[in-house]
Amino acid sequence: MNTNAKKIIKVAGVGLFFILIIGYSLFVSKDLIFGVKIKDVNFNGESAYSGATFTESIVKVTGNAKNAIKLGLNGREISIDELGNFNETIALLSGYNIINLRAEDKFGYVDEKNFRLVGGFAEEAK
């Protein structure tokens, strides 16, 4: 084998090694790069959006807080599983309600979502 071919193989091998190292580093640091993210939030199984009106006073809130170690719902810490999924029940007041979700990751980065909901249920007769 001539020396030019050996040099080319050496340079290609070293280049491939460094590309693999950089790729692995990016893969391992994806949590730091992408940070915490609240997504797939649902109220009573319906996709969450501000301005939604509910006729019942009890609402089930579900979703995912990717890369979160702490998740708060209206200032109260709620539990999440190892994949970041959460499932909580809240009580709405009649009228205007603000639902605040605040997630924090292990590096201190925060993602916060606010939903403005309207409770339009009638008062129960006594």
Its pTM stands at: 0.72
99 in helix, strand or coil? Answer: strand
Give the CATH class of 35-119. mainly beta
3-state secondary structure of 125: coil
Largest CA distance in the chain: 97
Contact by Cβ (8 Å): 40, 113: no
How far is residue 36's CA from residue 87's CA, in Å, rounded to a whole number? 18
* pLDDT tens sequence across 64-113: 999 899 999 999 999 999 999 999 999 999 889 999 999 999 888 999 99
Segments making up each domain of the chain, as ranges: 1-34, 35-119
* Cα gap 55→66, rounded to integer Å: 30
Q: What is the mean pLDDT of residues 108-121?
A: 89
For the chain, give the percent of residues with pLDDT over 70.
94
The structure tokens listed for 96 are: 């205007």
